[in-house]
Amino acid sequence: MNVAMLLSGGVDSSVALRLLQQQGHDVTAFYLKIWLEDELSFLGECPWEEDLHFARRVCEQAGVNLEVISLQREYHQKVVSWAIDELRAGRTPSPDVLCNQHIKFGAFLDILEDRLTPTFDKVASGHYARVRAVEPTPNVEPPVEYELLKGIDPVKDQTYFLYQLNQEQLSRCLFLLGGYPKAEVRKMAEDMALVNCRRKDSQGICFLGKIQYDEFVRAHLGERPGDIKNIETGEVLGSHAGHWFYTIGQRKGLGLGGGPWYVVAKSCEHNVVWISHREHFADHQRDRFSIPTPHWIGGALDPGRHRVDVRIRHSPQVARAELVVPSRAVEPIHIRLEEADPGVAAGQAAVIYQGEKCLGGGQIQPSAQFLSVD
């Protein structure tokens, strides 16, 4: 096949590129330029130049052409602006979910479609996930032909960030690493003598590079000093620079003695961060929430109750849960976890699984009640 390879300069995508070559595909590598160099330049030296440097060296070593595609405007419109609005509203966004949906397998696919020559059969990446072709499901529009499956390495599995992909996008995706554990990918990089084989994995949100998350938030939202209060007593225990720097379940960064203390709620209107001591923390854990507008990869589950696994953060662990699908598709779906969780945060992505298959998911809306089926 003729394959477009999304190359980041990291080890994973570099190994994926070489695997494509070993399989006999014609490969063109693409580096997506999404950094916000103008508005973030004051934060220091550009942290993405090193990524592009390694991407170029990997391509030179492999004898593959590398093209740099600028998607800065699209990224700012589709991902960054949305994330800032979510933070301002007191919610916890998952920007990498939208990056995959709207940029890597959205705007980039649109660019490839606009090319008359060459045409690309697939878009490959270094994600730890798998796509499986299945027999089309009868009486379903559009027909379900592809499933998204977990990567076999539970620590590296990245389906949490891919759950918003649709059937058309999955039909074009080629995930080379979903069947490998990370340790084996590292070993392959060394065996291939890749120039970046010892390079550390990137951490955090994809567009930030080495920029600290708080610095990025401060650059866009500034500071708004407010009180940190004990939710049990109402006592003011400290101050904060803005509620958007905190999320539910957070422990670090509070700067308070006598802890540990945990963030259990936020008031955007009054700019208050509510905390609770470890002794009372369990009282504020949640086991119920709703997803107002779920995205289903292969069609919605039938109305009724279903046993599923749920992730509410990128983690190897999944939580057992009961999912209620209402009879009316316009209504939210409701999830009840078998064990309450301290980090159920509004706006955060909740991703639903049955076994190794990712069914879809959506943004969390905390729910005081677990509604019954019609």
Pair 161, 96: CB distance under 8 Å: yes
Integer CA distances (angstroms), 331 to 91, 278, 291, 292, 309, in order: 21, 36, 9, 7, 21
Give me the catalytic one of 59, 173, 197, 206.
206
Q: What is the dihedral of CA 5, 36, 225, 204, to 10 degrees?
A: 20
324 phi, psi to nearest 5 deg: -110, 120
Pair 173, 125: CB distance under 8 Å: yes
The beta-carbon contacts of 112-115 under 8 Å, at least 24 apart in sequence, are 112/4
- Whether cis (ω within 30° of 0) applies to the bond prior to 181 is no
Pairing label, strands 357-363, 295-296:
antiparallel
How far is residue 7's CA from residue 15's CA, in Å, rounded to a whole number? 10
Pairing label, strands 236-240, 365-366:
unpaired
Q: Which residues in 195-325 belong to E strands, given as ranges?
A: 226-230, 236-240, 261-267, 272-277, 286-291, 295-296, 304-311, 319-325
How far is residue 3's CA from residue 22's CA, in Å, rounded to a whole number? 13
Tokens 């084989």 locate to: 197
The yes-or-no answer on residue 268 being catalytic is: no
Q: Is 316 exposed, middle or buried (0-12, 13-18, 19+ CB in 10 A)?
A: exposed
Give me the catalytic one of 59, 99, 173, 358.
99
Residue 91, SS3 per DSSP: coil
Pinpoint the alpha helices (H) of 131-226: 167-172, 182-191, 213-221
Pair 83, 363: CB distance under 8 Å: no
User: 34 CB contacts (<8 Å, ≥6 apart)?
Assistant: 71, 72, 75, 99, 103, 206, 207
Residues with active-site annotation: 99, 206
